[in-house]
Amino acid sequence: MRAVIYEEYGDAEVLRQATLPRPSPSAGEIVVQVRAVEVTKSDTELRSLRFPVKWFAWLLRLFLGLRRPKRQVLGSYFSGVVTELGPGTSRFSKGDEVFGSSQLRMGAYGEYLVVPEAYTIAHKPRTASFEEAAAVPLGGLNALHFLRLAQVQRGQQILINGGGGSIGSFAIQIARAMGARVTVVDAPQKEAFVRSLGAEEFIDYSSEDFSRRSVVFDVVFDMVPGSDYSKCLGVLGPEGCYLSGNPTLWRMVQIIKTSIFSRRRASFAFARESQAELEELSRLLDAGKLRVMREVYALDNVVRAHQMVESEQRTGLIVLSHQQTSA
């Protein structure tokens, strides 16, 4: 099968195409012919071993390989067609169109992927293309998880710091579907994009300090690892909720202190990526309540796709298609 692999850590140029054996399922596993896979910030960090959360890097390196990657095929969020069933499987049939997560098994940069059917995988939304469906699980599951933690209510004011990325773009739409009013902080080139998703207010962090606004927010959803915690709390109401989707170790300590010593709620609880939440996202897509803004690259243009994600030049999500070839 055709796949994109990396045999050493480094810049995007370490990625190359290769031919690998087609995998076979064991008991409880299914084989998916991958049609599309999202290129995520995590993919670029795993490839380069450069992480914004420094303490996390060494833990992952022990798991991934100290000197070179043990798992050479990236890609965790995919869509495709079930082609083979291992013994003891019952959730899916051959020919089912599915989407979901292969977790740290990764492998979706390959043409075929083996995953346990117990993983967070669901039938693809009827109204979504394979490219759209592949772009949903990472951002959608995390956004839904955090906004449910915040117990968002109709009419509340939400600030999303770093709202132009994968998780933020879904958080805008899900918050709007919950009836909230959304303000986004991000780079100026993201303004049109986030407004198209439903953000009512936009703050360009390069020219304005969001903490100087007079608005008091009910929820602050912070996706920026190096953000100023005091400024985030400064715009939060006395009983508001602060959420960190990308916490440093020190930020975790700050959050715990806030939860203990104030009336504010604060959390860095990571998303469980549950089956029920993925199915809820599928329903929201089919109901027209979510839009997936994505750019699609052919598999042989993977280096450029990684560069776009890594540099934050993108406006929208980046997806690799196994069905396309560059001209």
| Shared domain check, 223 and 111 | no
What does the alpha-carbon distance between residue 297 and residue 137 come to, in Å, rounded to a whole number? 18
Q: Are residues 9 and 124 in the same domain?
A: yes
281 domain residue, yes or no: no
Name the DSSP letter for residue 110: B
In a domain, 280, yes or no: no
Q: What CATH number is associated with residue 296?
A: 3.90.180.10
How far, in whole angstroms, is CA 196 from its chain's centroid? 19
* pLDDT-derived band at 50, boundaries 50, 70, 90: confident
Spell out the long-range contacts of 85-88 with Cβ–Cβ below 8 A and sequence spacing 24 or more: 85/25, 85/30, 85/31, 86/25, 86/26, 86/27, 86/28, 86/29, 86/30, 86/31, 87/26, 87/27, 87/28, 88/27, 88/28
**Final residue belonging to a domain, choices 252, 267, 282:** 267
d(CA 262, CA 256): 10
The answer to whether position 276 is within a domain reads no
Same domain? 106 vs 174: no
Task: Please name which of 327, 318, 325 lies closest in space to residue 74, comparing C-alpha atoms.
Answer: 318
Lowest mean pLDDT among 58-72, 171-185, 191-205, 274-288: 58-72
The C-alpha atoms of residue 276 and residue 260 are separated, in whole angstroms, by 31
Residues 110 and 168 in one domain: no
Same-domain pairing of 220 and 249 = yes
Check whether residue 89 and residue 168 sit in a common domain: no
78 vs 54, higher pLDDT: 78
For residues 25 and 83, give the distance between their C-alpha atoms in angstroms, rounded to a whole number: 10
Residue 10 scores a pLDDT above 70 = yes
- pLDDT (average), residues 40-56: 84
Whether residue 292 contacts residue 36, with contact meaning beta carbons closer than 8 Å, is answered with no
In the chain, % of residues over pLDDT 90: 83
Q: Find out whether 118 and 247 touch, Cβ atoms under 8 Å.
A: no
Q: Which residues pair with 296 in a beta bridge?
A: 319
* Mean pLDDT over the full length of the chain: 93
- Phi/psi for 156 (5° steps) reads -75, 160
Average pLDDT over every residue of 191-204: 95
**Percentage of the residues of the chain whose pLDDT score is greater than 70:** 98
What pTM was estimated for this model as a whole?
Answer: 0.90
Domain assignment present for 300: yes
pLDDT score for 214: 87
109 and 15, same structural domain? yes
Q: Is the pLDDT of residue 218 over 50?
A: yes
Whether residue 126 is found in the same domain as residue 180: no
- How many structural domains is the chain composed of? 2
Q: In this structure, what CATH number is given to the domain that contains residue 216? A: 3.40.50.720
Q: Is residue 45 part of a domain?
A: yes
The pLDDT score that the predictor gives to residue 248 is 85
For 241, phi then psi, to 5°, come to -125, 125
Predicted confidence at residue 327, as pLDDT, reads 46
pLDDT of residue 323: 83
Shared domain for 42 and 106, answered yes or no, is yes
Question: Which structural domain, as residue segments, surrounds residue 175?
Answer: 138-267
